[in-house]
Amino acid sequence: MWGATSALRRSAWEQVKEDVCLDDAVVHEDQDVSLWMAAKGLTTVQSNDIIITTEGHTYRYFPKLVQYASLYASTKRLHASNGNLAKMKKLPLAPLLPGYVFTLLASPLLLVVSLLLFPVDVIQKRLQ
């Protein structure tokens, strides 16, 4: 689930609320909830009916990119250490392959753009 447009049934929240990490410095809260749900056999559903807009620069802002990468890694470590990742149903590789390929190609590009535009972003933030 992606937090900006996610919703939970009360019954799902009741099953995971005691387990989720409430420290945003340790985990991506939406990923944490999703991983706890998956570990307990609950499912998520994606609806493409909801459309959101956001300022694109927030996704390339270098400090935010570093923070997201760090939170992704610590969320994964937490769920590996508590055994959740081992409990989850493994998805077949074929449907996931396009996303993996895109990530491998886009990540270095995003990093380069983020580093090149960082000075511009800093100036823009100070002028706001």
Q: Give the mean pLDDT of 101-109.
A: 91
Overall pTM surpassing 0.85 (yes/no): no
pLDDT digits (tens, 9 = 90+) for 48-87: 787 777 766 666 788 888 998 899 999 999 999 999 888 8
What sections of 2-61 are H helices per DSSP?
10-16, 29-39, 57-60
Distance of CA 30 to the CA centre of its chain: 7
CA distance linking residue 71 with residue 88, whole number of Å: 20
pLDDT in the model for residue 56: 63
Q: What are phi and psi of 122, to 5 degrees?
A: -65, -45
- pLDDT band with cut points at 50, 70 and 90 for residue 91: confident
pLDDT of residue 89 exceeding 80, the answer is no
Q: Which residues contact 114 (CB under 8 A, 6 or more apart)?
A: 60, 61, 62, 65
Q: State how far the Cα of 87 lies from the Cα of 106, in Å rounded to an integer.
A: 30
Place of tokens 């749900």: 37
Whether 14 and 58 have beta carbons less than 8 Å apart is answered as no
Which domain covers residue 74, as residue numbers? 3-127
Domain total in the chain: 1
